[in-house]
Amino acid sequence: MGFEADAYYLVKGELLPEAIQKTVEAKQLLAKGEVRTVQEAVERVGLSRSSFYKYKDGIFPFNAMVKSKIVTISLALEHRSGVLSQVLRHLADHGGNVLTIHQTIPLQGVANVTMSVDTVYLNTDVTRLIDGLQELDGVSRAMLVGSGE
């Protein structure tokens, strides 16, 4: 058994070559919106564009992959202006990050909505979050239908 090019390895950051460390820094600057372009990011961290492009698709922070906890929420919403906005505001106010939304065409005044929500930064427990959604005006039903990591 030798080195496997397609395998993933957990390596302490300080052991990585400088170009890979700087690629991670540049990606973080871009993700946080501190810079707008790859050129700005690489100039700021002292890395060539060619090195950035060589490594960018192969290096990811371990915590970004481990911390994520995604739940699926199913809702029945009255078909009127502002109901979905209230739901999104409630989720954001409690630290939920909406990853996907699927909404059916309203039938008999009710639209079914399914959302995938990242709860890693939630400032309440999921049960309370769902209970709070259920209490919003225009929400006929809110329930957790799945959770995983």
Domain that holds residue 25: 13-63
Residue 112 placed within a domain: yes
Residue 36 placed within a domain: yes
Calculate the alpha carbon distances from 65 to 60, 61, 69 in Å. Answer: 8, 7, 10
C-beta of residue 87 within 8 angstroms of C-beta of residue 114? no
| 142, pLDDT greater than 90 | yes
pTM here is 0.56
Domain count, the chain: 2
pLDDT at residue 122, rounded to an integer: 86
| Domain match, 79 and 109 both | yes
Per cent of the chain over pLDDT 90 is: 66
pLDDT at residue 100, rounded to an integer: 95
Beta-carbon contacts of 141 under 8 Å, excluding residues fewer than 6 positions away, are 74, 75, 76, 134
What pLDDT, in 10s, does the model give residues 117-126?
A: 998 888 888 8
| Domain match, 54 and 93 both | no
pLDDT at residue 67, rounded to an integer: 54
